[in-house]
């Protein structure tokens, strides 16, 4: 879906849509597969550009990583420690390959990762955790060189903040390290639990994933398995917000509503009808919506930072104000400019997006500046009268394999 997308807004959405596997699970699982001595098969993976970048990293270090239908098969030990600069710099999640490659090869040469421009997003907590487990980190030009010739050792660690990625780095490093690793201040996101479940099924000994204290007994001999990653709760949130923006009646299947209940609760409070099943939710909107007042993002089970622009997009024309403060990233609301071009009263003050509400939306030419902000422009465009042209859709392709097709199947007119 690179390039441009055109949305004819004002058409309600009806039908059922299946939620694909979570990007934020698949990426760490692909990194973790480097730790396994036998082949790993990930089932039903969406073809996202971030996934293709991970496969390119795996191949560049000597692993075999291939699509087999909708599944991905990864095999072979890594042989080269140098990660490819282009993919590594393009995607922040490339930092997740550092710990497993270091564990297998004793050395990894990576780069400072980039990714969406939604804030500073340093990787210092990943590096400091690895250092506390016996690694040495140095910088050579554009490259970060991490070595642990004598292997990693278990340690008692405390993260300065609940970082999802740094928690995943410690999970992977801890499986390879000699002795017990105890991580205090871990992030509690469901994707971390999914990674721990995967590693445990491969032979790992991880306890406490999903709480803020995780214990890992290493070293573990990990074998390969076939694994189905958890559903994408941010994609489910996107579809729920799309129904709220466009109006209509949409069933979001294959994802437990408990995984994104803050989003469903906000939409329900704003005037949508929400019906929750065990593994599906139905979101209906007929009449006008109300502003949601003051909202803040936070770690799980709070409102996910990735869902914040999507919720905003659904509430742009609601009656009454909404404020959304993002506590995780400092530049989350780059989509506000596009919202304004569509007629919304949307202002960013510090980390808070302020929506006046009450403004009918119209089509406009807008530009996606990051993944979730780009998807939020699509969500807003569904509820806007007339045609919206969205440039920069390569950002959207990083996290949605077929957003246009999914929405078209529900009745949206998207090219």
> 298 vs 411, which CB is nearer to ligand UD1?
298
Whose tokens are 């059922």? That residue is: 16
> Which residue in 255, 384, 343 sits closest to 307, CA to CA?
255
To ligand UD1, the closest distance from the beta carbon of 211 in angstroms equals 16
Contact status: 45 vs ligand UD1 (CB under 6 A): no
Neighbours of 100 (CB within 10 A): 26
> Which residue in 307, 315, 303, 306 sits closest to 339, CA to CA?
315
Active site members: 116
To ligand UD1, the closest distance from the beta carbon of 166 in angstroms equals 5
What span, in angstroms and rounded, lies between the C-alpha atoms of 26 and 107? 24
Span near ligand UD1 by CB under 6 A; candidates 102-110, 138-146, 159-167, 265-273 = 159-167
Angle at 261 between CA 255 and CA 265, to 5 degrees: 135
> 274 vs 353, which CB is nearer to ligand UD1?
353
- Member of 110, 163, 238, 388 binding ligand UD1 (CB under 6 A): 163
- Member of 222, 236, 328, 341 binding ligand UD1 (CB under 6 A): 328
- Member of 122, 277, 293, 360 binding ligand UD1 (CB under 6 A): 122
Contact status: 140 vs ligand UD1 (CB under 6 A): no
To ligand UD1, the closest distance from the beta carbon of 237 in angstroms equals 12
Span near ligand UD1 by CB under 6 A; candidates 12-20, 119-127, 267-275, 401-409 = 119-127
What span, in angstroms and rounded, lies between the C-alpha atoms of 287 and 362? 18
Which residues contact residue 138 at a Cβ distance below 8 angstroms, ignoring those fewer than 6 apart?
A: 144, 145
Contact status: 395 vs ligand UD1 (CB under 6 A): no
Contact status: 260 vs ligand UD1 (CB under 6 A): no
Which residues contact residue 122 at a Cβ distance below 8 angstroms, ignoring those fewer than 6 apart?
A: none
Contact status: 233 vs ligand UD1 (CB under 6 A): no
Number of residues that bind ligand UD1 (CB under 6 A): 23
Contact 361, 383 (CB under 8 A): yes
> 263 vs 384, which CB is nearer to ligand UD1?
263
Span near ligand UD1 by CB under 6 A; candidates 30-38, 60-68, 123-131, 345-353 = 123-131
For the chain, the straight-line distance linking the first and the last C-alpha, in angstroms and rounded, comes to 10
To ligand UD1, the closest distance from the beta carbon of 398 in angstroms equals 10
To ligand UD1, the closest distance from the beta carbon of 197 in angstroms equals 16
Contact status: 113 vs ligand UD1 (CB under 6 A): no
Contact status: 123 vs ligand UD1 (CB under 6 A): yes
Neighbours of 85 (CB within 10 A): 15
Mask of contacts with ligand UD1, 282-321, x by CB under 6 A? -----------------------xx---------------
Q: What b/e readout covers 227-248, taking b as 16+ CB neighbours within 10 angstroms?
A: bebbbbbbbbbbbbbbbbbbbb
Helical H runs in 143-209? Answer: 164-176, 190-201
Contact status: 398 vs ligand UD1 (CB under 6 A): no
285 backbone dihedrals φ, ψ, rounded to 5°: -140, 125
Query: What's the CA dihedral at 27, 408, 276, 272 to 10 degrees?
Result: 120
- Footprint of ligand UD1 on 82-101 (CB under 6 A): 92-93
Angle at 373 between CA 368 and CA 379, to 5 degrees: 95
Contact status: 161 vs ligand UD1 (CB under 6 A): yes
Residue whose C-beta lies closest to ligand UD1: 165
> 123 vs 318, which CB is nearer to ligand UD1?
123
- Member of 27, 103, 270, 283 binding ligand UD1 (CB under 6 A): 27
Neighbours of 80 (CB within 10 A): 14
Neighbours of 287 (CB within 10 A): 7
State the burial class of residue 415 (Cβ atoms within 10 Å of its Cβ: 0-12, 13-18, 19+): exposed
Contact status: 339 vs ligand UD1 (CB under 6 A): no
Contact status: 165 vs ligand UD1 (CB under 6 A): yes
Span near ligand UD1 by CB under 6 A; candidates 156-164, 195-203, 265-273, 285-293 = 156-164
Contact status: 158 vs ligand UD1 (CB under 6 A): no
Binding region for ligand UD1 (CB under 6 A)? 24, 27, 92-93, 119-126, 161, 163-166, 187, 191, 305-306, 328-329
């Amino acid at each position: 879906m690179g390039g441009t997308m055109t949305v004819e807004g004002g058409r309600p959405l009806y039908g059922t849509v299946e939620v694909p596997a979570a990007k934020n699970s698949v990426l760490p699982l692909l990194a973790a597969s480097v730790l396994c001595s036998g082949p790993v098969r990930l089932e039903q993976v969406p073809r996202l550009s971030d996934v293709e970048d991970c496969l390119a990293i795996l191949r560049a270090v000597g692993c075999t990583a291939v699509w087999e239908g909708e599944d991905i098969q990864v095999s072979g030990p890594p042989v080269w420690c140098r990660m490819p600069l282009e993919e590594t710099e393009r995607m922040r999640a490339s930092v997740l390959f550092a710990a497993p490659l270091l564990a297998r090869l004793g050395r990894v040469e990576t780069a400072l990762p980039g990714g969406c421009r939604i804030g500073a997003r340093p990787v210092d907590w990943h590096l400091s955790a690895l250092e506390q487990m016996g690694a040495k980190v140095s910088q050579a030009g554009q490259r970060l060189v991490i070595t642990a010739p004598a292997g990693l050792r278990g340690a008692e660690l405390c993260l300065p903040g609940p970082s999802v990625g740094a928690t995943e780095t410690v999970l992977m490093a801890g499986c390879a390290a000699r002795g017990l690793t105890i991580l205090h201040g871990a992030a509690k996101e469901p994707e971390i639990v999914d990674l721990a479940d995967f590693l445990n099924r491969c032979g790992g000994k991880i306890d406490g994933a999903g709480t803020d204290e995780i214990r890992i007994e290493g070293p573990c001999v990990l074998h390969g398995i076939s694994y189905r990653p958890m559903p994408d709760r941010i994609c489910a949130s996107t579809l729920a917000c799309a129904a709220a923006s466009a109006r209509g009646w949409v069933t979001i299947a294959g994802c437990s509503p408990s995984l994104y209940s803050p989003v469903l609760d906000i939409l329900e409070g704003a005037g949508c009808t929400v019906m929750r099943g065990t593994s599906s939710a139905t979101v209906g909107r007929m009449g006008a919506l109300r502003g949601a007042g003051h909202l803040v993002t936070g770690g799980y089970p709070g409102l996910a930072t990735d869902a914040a622009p999507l919720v905003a997009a659904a509430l742009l024309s609601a009656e009454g104000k909404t404020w959304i403060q993002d506590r995780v990233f400092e530049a989350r609301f780059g989509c506000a400019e596009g919202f304004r071009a569509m007629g919304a009263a949307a202002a960013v003050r510090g980390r808070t997006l302020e929506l006046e509400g009450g403004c009918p939306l119209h089509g406009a030419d807008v530009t996606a500046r990051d993944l979730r902000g780009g998807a939020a422009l699509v969500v807003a465009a569904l509820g806007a009268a007339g045609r919206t042209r969205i440039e920069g859709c390569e950002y959207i392709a990083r996290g949605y394999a077929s957003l246009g097709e999914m929405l078209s199947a529900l009745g949206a007119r998207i090219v």
